[in-house]
Structure 1
């Protein structure tokens, strides 16, 4: 495997302003992901892709070199992750390194660990498009999700005659923590178009993703609980 680990960290954030470098517990949010990546990969393969000088500075103070700042067209609110990933691949290829596997680690998943990454890598092989981390969703479309029909009436998203949620098929949602991607597949199509995708299941706490201030407050509670458990030991 020739890996490239990409940690995308845009400067703008509406839900939690400056969240990527906002301190959670005793360190900036992005450090949780950098530490997890460093526990598996050499620094030379870890790329923080950012458009922001302050984020670059914080990351480099943590001992990880930031190889570039994103061009303006990849720094806007409308810039997509797909283009950001292709840009990172292109940059490394221009330097003579040709990755065959891209590991996308979003900095909004602070409770994803090196152990999770190592376990997910065991599921990956070059004949598939992607291994992606998931959690079992509570919003099961067979039971509690509804959409409006043409008359404005609610109907089940997936028709089924289950009377208990426990009887419904398990349904998974991407938790945003780990994406192990075949570079050849990524160059051919966007992630949403992949057909050969395998899941890596994570528990609810490890899956916690920070998008809003409420998510941030929950993360603080998780951090405090972990600290309290450590003192008890």
Structure 2
């Protein structure tokens, strides 16, 4: 079965300007995702989808391919990931599997990428397998602020339920999304029973959208490397 890794990396990041090229532990952030994908030996090709020539040059210099430039219509603040993957698949030769890997995933590990592919191979009735992690608290006991700035229960029906009696909930870990190519192209729904979970420990997960996220990712990365847990 053939597989392609597709790394979306547009040039117009707002909250962390040029974050895909910003140095993380000495190398541009996107290079970490490229290297992990290449070193995993899971992919026939590692592709970067970008609208930015500088990102394209860095990607090529580090072993990825950039066989096309992403059109501006798919590089704005509102375009979803699925549309970018569909565009890439339509530009490429046919692959059985396509794995979207985010450019800002410095804690990504090849063993979890491998597990995601294995899950899809073992469950031919499923469309996707992607990284998730459990919430560190019972989401049913979440609090919100009302119009007066006071606290109120988001789910009042669970206000008096013990947290240990509530179902465990998971969040998208924002690292990778394996899918059958035909599922991507059909537009199958990712967050649905068509998907399987690759469950990551919470300490290996950090979405990077703000400068505070970036700092926390640096701390986690340094601790994991010192502890020998990065593989």
Alignment counterpart, residue 219 of structure 1, candidates 214, 217, 220: 217
- Residue aligning to 1:130: 128
The alignment partner of 1:31 has SS state of helix
Task: Please report the RMSD computed on the Cα atoms of aligned residues, expressed in angstroms.
Answer: 2.5
Contact 1:104-1:179 within 8 A present in 2 as well:
yes
- Residue aligning to 2:179: 181
- Residue aligning to 2:59: 59
Q: Could you tell me how far apart the structure 2 residues matched to 1:9 and 1:167 are? A: 41
1:56-205 equivalent positions in 2, closer than 5 A: 56-92=56-92, 97-124=93-120, 125-145=123-143, 154-157=152-155, 159-160=157-158, 163-192=161-190, 194-205=192-203
Q: How many residues align?
A: 224
Contact 2:21-2:55 within 8 A present in 1 as well:
yes
The alignment partner of 1:191 has SS state of coil
How far did residue 184 of structure 1 move? 1.9
Q: Provide TM-score, normalisation by structure 2.
A: 0.86
Per the alignment, do residues 127 and 160 of structure 1 end up closer, same or farther by CA in structure 2, a change over 3 Å counting?
same
More divergent stretch after superposition (189-198 vs 118-127): 189-198
Q: Could you tell me how far apart the structure 2 residues matched to 1:101 and 1:158 are? A: 43
Q: Could you tell me how far apart the structure 1 residues matched to 2:223 and 2:145 are? A: 38
Q: Could you tell me how far apart the structure 2 residues matched to 1:133 and 1:121 are? A: 11
Q: Provide TM-score, normalisation by structure 1.
A: 0.85
Runs of 4+ in 1 over 6 A off after TM superposition: none
1:23-34 equivalent positions in 2, closer than 5 A: 23-34=23-34
1:22-81 CA distance string (max 9 Å, x none): 101121111111111112236752111000011011111213231111112112222221
Contact 2:101-2:176 within 8 A present in 1 as well:
yes
